[in-house]
Amino acid sequence: MRGLRRRVDPLDYAGRVWMRTFFGMVFILLYAPVVLMMAFSFNDSKRNIVWRGFTTKYYEKAWNNDGLIEAFINSLTIAAINTVVATTLGAMVALLLWRFRFPFKSAYEGFMALPIVIPEICMGVAMLAFFSRIGWPTGMPWPLNLSAIIVAHVAFSFPFVAIVVRARMAGFNRELEEASRDLGATEWQTFRHVIFPYMRPGLVAGALLAFTLSLDDFVITFFTSGPETVTFPVKVYSMVRFSVTPEVNAASTVLVVITLIVAALMLRVQRPDHAGAQ
Amino acid sequence: MSIISIRNVTKKFGGITAVDNANIDIAANEFFAVLGPSGCGKTTLLRMLAGFETPTAGEILIDGVDVSAMAPNKRPVNMVFQSYAVFPHMTVLANVGYGLKVTGVPAAETRRRAEEVLELVQLAHLGERKPDQLSGGQRQRVALARALVKRPKVLLLDEPMSALDAKLREQMQLELTRLQEEIGITFVIVTHDQDEALSMADRIAVMQAGRVEQTATPELLYESPNSRFVADFIGKVNLLDGQVTGASDHGVTVEVAHLGKVTVPHAGRAHGQVSLAVRPEKIRMTASRPESSLIVQGRIVDWAYYGDTSHIRVQPDNGPLMSVTVQNETRSTVENGDVGDQVWLSWREEDTLVLDR
């Protein structure tokens, strides 16, 4: 009877029951906690362990929690500035590595990527030691009081941008650049009209990475933030130490929604990709 | 007056000499081809004309101006790239207008001129398309239009046919020749395809290992090559090695092992070891012994039938294999010989070339 059994090709594994079950489990483990968190933000219970009915009062409470709102605004400000600076810096590093040959280039490339592999806790300690050693000014007015955190965030997020953009540029047909020069464009015009449009999907992906990395970073921020500069993850951590109230869930839900909206917007900016691969 | 003068130009990449003391003059309105096997330096030479490479030594003059150190965007030349390099994120019209836009030509004039040139390459109806909606041949026309819209003094073409299929290639060759005559500017084409160069160009420079071997019209290159390399690279040739034994007003006398002493007309000087060269189509193949001083007897070893012609290889009783091309002038020509037959090969003295070895 073995001859009658349908053969399953390697790419047909999705048709097998155990494989589907496995996929299902993965998705549940990935997304169920987030969905549960969102659901329980509407839970009418202080303890937030058992479902006791629907309410939106914790959103109201979170909204009126000045400390939470301040931390939230701090986080978004840091993430926004970090995205701009890290994307610019990362793109410039990527262009440098793509375009030019110079001594110790491969060594530089390795060092540039170090923040990706160094454990975050070490980065945090290093940043703390660095800022206190050089006497980075504290107690400045907002948003300058966030500068230390922003510097730290840029330091660990720009290599991600650089790597993404570099990978994008590897597929660029250099004849496009030469064609532009040949047709009378200056180097700057060539960059603006030919190289940049090709680079854009990489920039969008890199910027998204930088934004989310900064928004949810806890360890490095924890070490570099002063007592009066609290970010959202740090604030949530301190709140959770007392109890996991629906208020924390509500604030987290808002953060998830903002992240999704930003991601959706950036993906829309990124047009279908035919900007000049080789 | 020549529009391009390449004077003693050498280009070295590290220790490798890509172009070695090249001297070429190209006349205005000429269709000029640079022909050579891959890696001979022909593309490097073209890139130096476009400004993407700077000569290590020597100078390049375009219309009397030394451009050796001039940036590519300042030169009065435009190029059609091997990959076409059509900007993928722009429409056809934007691609063609690009070169005008970046140099500050007003938008209305840019559009008018771009449409004009698209008309010239028969793409007027595809102006709003994106390059990924075009065929290879259409993309090439866009690249061509984009270069021509700049009204360059010289149009450079880098292996423009290499990505096209045989039928389209022939069509584009005719089209390029038509365009060149119509707009009357100088075309410089780089190619490794000898048929392409022979059929299109007014003059051809043959390059090998960085050196310009010979610059001449297609007829001269084919009928009077000045070296074994050129003779062998352009078309097929039979080479018979021999020794010069004397020279007179009538030509030189060469002793070839299986031919004996033969005298052939030769304008230049020749001495020592030489080769007698004769093209396959200039050899007559007969069953009986003909009257000629240049005859070889042999046996047919293979027979390749091409419809209009047949390419036959004959193994002489002694001496190297020889190629013969015969016109299949009648329907029965094929029956006139067969593999294994004994035949006589003969050719005329004036069809024989004397080449240094």
Q: Indicate yes or no: CB of A274 within 8 angstroms of CB of B146.
A: no
B73 contacts chain A (CB < 8 A): yes
Dihedral (CA of A95, A98, A103, A104) sign? positive
Query: Given A181, A186, A275, which is nearest B88 (Cβ)?
Result: A275
Instruction: Give which of B111, B28, B105 is closest to B63, Cα–Cα.
Output: B28
Query: ∠ CA B313-B347-B207 to the nearest 5 degrees?
Result: 70
Return left, alpha or beta for B245; rule: phi > 0 is left, psi -120 to 50 is alpha, else beta. alpha
Which chain A residues are closer than 8 Å to B130 by Cβ?
274
Q: How far apart are alpha carbons B319 and B328 in whole angstroms?
A: 27
B298 DSSP β-pair partners? B316, B343
Q: What is the pLDDT of residues B37-87, one digit of tens each?
A: 988 999 999 999 999 999 999 999 999 999 988 999 999 999 999 999 999
Q: Is B131 helix (H, G, I), strand (E, B) or coil?
A: helix
Residue B341 tokens, joined: 């037959």
What average pLDDT score do residues A149-178 get? 93
Among B51, B89, B146, whose Cβ lies nearest the Cβ of A197? B89
Nearest Cβ partner of A274 from B50, B130, B146?
B130
Chain B residue with Cα closest to A184: B73
Closest CA in chain B for residue A174? B85
Chain B: residue whose CA lies nearest to A188: B102
CA B138 to the chain's CA centroid? 24
Q: Collect all residues of chain B within an 8 Å Cβ-Cβ radius of residue A180.
A: 87, 98, 102
Name residue B268's amino acid: G
Say if CB B262 and CB B293 are below 8 A apart. yes
The stretch A191-208 carries a mean pLDDT of 92
Closest-approach residue (CA) in chain B for A176: B85
| Gap between the Cα atoms of A155 and A178, Å rounded | 34
**Residue of B75, B79, B89 for testing the chain A interface, max A β-carbons within 10 Å:** B89
Interface test with B, best of A177, A183, A188, A194 (most B CBs within 10 A): A183
Q: Which domains does chain B have, with CATH numbers?
A: 2-229 (3.40.50.300), 236-356 (2.40.50.100)
Residues 6+ apart with CB under 8 A from A190: A177, A180, A181
Q: Is B163 an interface residue toward A (CB < 8 Å)?
A: no
By C-alpha distance, the chain A residue nearest B150 is: A183
Q: What are phi and psi of B204, to 5 degrees?
A: -130, 135
A108: nearest Cα among A88, A120, A127, A94:
A94
First to last CA, chain A: 51
pLDDT given at position A278: 39
Chain A touched by B102 (CB under 8 Å): yes
Strands B65-66 and B57-62 come out as antiparallel
What's the gap in Å between the CA of A171 and the closest CA on chain B? 13
Percent over 90 (pLDDT), chain A = 39
- The number of residues making up chain A comes to 278
- CB contact at 8 A, A172 and A195: yes
Dist CA A97 CA B248 (whole Å)? 68
The answer to whether B52 faces chain A, any CB pair under 8 Å, is yes
Alpha helical stretches, state H, B214-274: 218-223, 228-233
**Who among B85, B88, B150 is closest to A184 (CB)?**
B150
Cα Rg for chain A, rounded, in angstroms?
Answer: 24
| Look-up of token digits 């990709």 | A273
The CA angle A153-A155-A158, to the nearest 5 degrees, is 95
Distance from CA of B234 to the nearest CA of A (A): 30
**Is there a contact between A90 and A158 (Cβ–Cβ < 8 Å)?**
yes
Alpha helices in A113-269 (DSSP H): 114-117, 120-134, 147-169, 174-182, 187-190, 196-215, 219-224, 232-240, 246-269
Please count the residue pairs, one from chain A and one from chain B, whose beta carbons lie less than 8 angstroms apart.
75
> What residues have CB less than 8 Å from A186, skipping those under 6 apart?
B73, B102
Residues of chain A found within 8 Å of residue B52, distances taken between Cβ atoms: 178, 181
Which residues of chain B fall below pLDDT 50?
Answer: none
**Closest partner residue to A173 among B83, B98, B146, by Cβ?**
B83
Q: Which of B318, B80, B289, B31 is nearest to B180 (CA)?
A: B31
The predicted pLDDT at position A143 comes to 79
**Distance set, CA B153 to CA A182, B3, B80, B142 (Å):** 13, 8, 14, 19
Identity of the residue in A182, A185, A189 whose CB atom sits nearest the CB atom of B50: A182
Q: Is B13 on the interface with A (CB under 8 A)?
A: no
Cα→Cα distances B306→A166, A253, B168, B238, B325, Å? 53, 77, 21, 20, 10
Does B147 lie at the interface with A, CB-CB under 8 angstroms?
yes
Q: What mean pLDDT is reported for chain B?
A: 90
Using a CB-CB cut-off of 8 Å, the residues of chain B touching A194 are: 87
CA distance, residue B98 to nearest chain A CA (Å): 7
Q: What is the pLDDT of residue A276?
A: 44
Beta bridge partners of B324: B312
Test B73 with A182 for CB contact under 8 angstroms: yes
- On the question of pLDDT at A277 being above 70, the answer is no
Residue A271: pLDDT over 60: no
CA–CA distance, B86 with B295 (Å, rounded to integer)? 56
- Give the C-alpha separation, B95 to B86, whole Å: 7
| pLDDT score of A14 | 67
pLDDT value of position A260: 87
Name the DSSP class of A54.
Answer: B
Q: What is the pLDDT of residues B101-117, one digit of tens each?
A: 999 999 999 999 999 99
As beta bridge partners, residue B264 has B252
Residues of B in contact with A186 (CB under 8 A): 73, 102
* Res A1: pLDDT: 45
* Residues A75 and A215: beta-carbon distance below 8 Å: yes
Locate A71 and state its tokens.
């931390």
CA-atom Rg of chain B in angstroms:
25
Q: Do B87 and A183 touch (CB under 8 A)?
A: no
Q: Say how far apart CA A232 and CA A218 lie, in whole Å.
A: 9
Do the chains contact at A180 and B146, CB–CB below 8 Å?
no
Q: Which domains does chain A have, with CATH numbers?
A: 2-40 (no CATH), 59-269 (1.10.3720.10)
- In the block, residue with structure tokens 């029951």: A17
**Other beta carbons less than 10 A from residue A269's beta carbon:** 11
Tokens of B247: 């020279």
B169/A271 Cα distance (integer angstroms): 35
A250 Cα to chain B: minimum distance (Å): 43
Tokens (6 digits) for B143: 């690249």
Please enumerate residues of A whose Cβ is less than 8 A from a Cβ of B. 173, 175-176, 178-186, 189, 193-194, 197-198, 274-278
Give the chain A residue nearest B152 (alpha carbons): A183
d(CA A178, CA B53): 11
b/e B22-60 (16+ beta carbons within 10 angstroms → b): bebbbeeebbbbbbbeeebbbbbbbbbbbbbbebeebeb
Cβ separation of B102 and A176 shorter than 8 Å?
A: no
The amino acid at residue B312 is: I
**Cβ pair A173:B85 closer than 8 A:** yes
In what helix (H) or strand (E) does residue A224 lie, and over which residues does it extend?
helix A219-224
* pLDDT digit string, tens, across residues A2-59: 555 666 666 666 667 888 888 899 999 999 999 998 998 888 887 777 888 888 888 9
Q: Is B39 left (phi over 0), alpha (psi -120 to 50) or beta?
A: left
